[in-house]
Chains A and B, each alone.
Chain A
Amino acid sequence: AQTVTQSQPEMSVQEAETVTLSCTYDTSESDYYLFWYKQPPSRQMILVIRQEAYKQQNATENRFSVNFQKAAKSFSLKISDSQLGDAAMYFCAYRTAYSGAGSYQLTFGKGTKLSVIP
């Protein structure tokens, strides 16, 4: 079974600064997807960024980028130029690429609560 570990329960960052959230995972699969989801206080989980394991290039979405280290099973999220609206719970998640059962459920980490200081 796959596991996802987020070792930082809480982080804080000054507005306009850069912060990195850590995530490690364990899997025996060679092909899979990794995600970062953001959950603001309004509760809905929003996809921030997605990485396909077969791609060596790190995914980037505007101010959000990842550092994907497949051999180390590490998948960190970097937020540049942090804004007040970035304050939220951030979840790292894993999903298989192939499912014989037709089920592609996400396996989540425990989350990191990010505070942005004005």
Chain B
Amino acid sequence: EPEVTQTPSHQVTQMGQEVILRCVPISNHLYFYWYRQILGQKVEFLVSFYNNEISEKSEIFDDQFSVERPDGSNFTLKIRSTKLEDSAMYFCASSYTGRSNQHFGDGTRLSIL
């Protein structure tokens, strides 16, 4: 069965550095999402992406965050200048239509030092 793939599985970065988290959604999927889960807290929506543009973003998704689908297969989340509070598990998800079930990747654990 096709899977959503995320790399790296664990990223350790110094505060203030830029970080890029990568996701390869399922190949025929058209809707893409990023979520994050701070340790011990609920999974929170960050941003949704469809037709090469952001369709919705949460309050968390400020100017430090950006998303891109540079080559038609990868879907990336960039954090421009990381803060300690960005430490979390980041999940990518994709779906074929907006209303079909979302498939999640394994997540990237981001640790900011």
Nearest CB in chain A: distance from B11 CB, A: 14
Describe B's contact surface by its main secondary structure: strand
Describe A's contact surface by its main secondary structure: loop
Contact yes or no, A111 B42, CB < 8 A: yes
Contact yes or no, A105 B56, CB < 8 A: yes
Q: Tell me the complex Cα distance, A101–B31, Å.
A: 12
Question: In the complex, what residues of B have CB within 8 A of residue A43's CB?
Answer: 89, 106-107
Number of interface residues of B (CB under 8 A): 26
**Extra 14 A-B pairs, beta carbons < 8 Å, given A44-B107, A108-B42:** A35-B101, A44-B104, A45-B104, A91-B42, A102-B98, A103-B98, A104-B31, A104-B48, A104-B95, A105-B33, A105-B45, A106-B93, A108-B43, A110-B41
Listed in ascending order, the chain A residues whose CB lies under 8 Å from chain B are 33, 35, 37, 42-47, 50, 91, 97, 99, 101-111
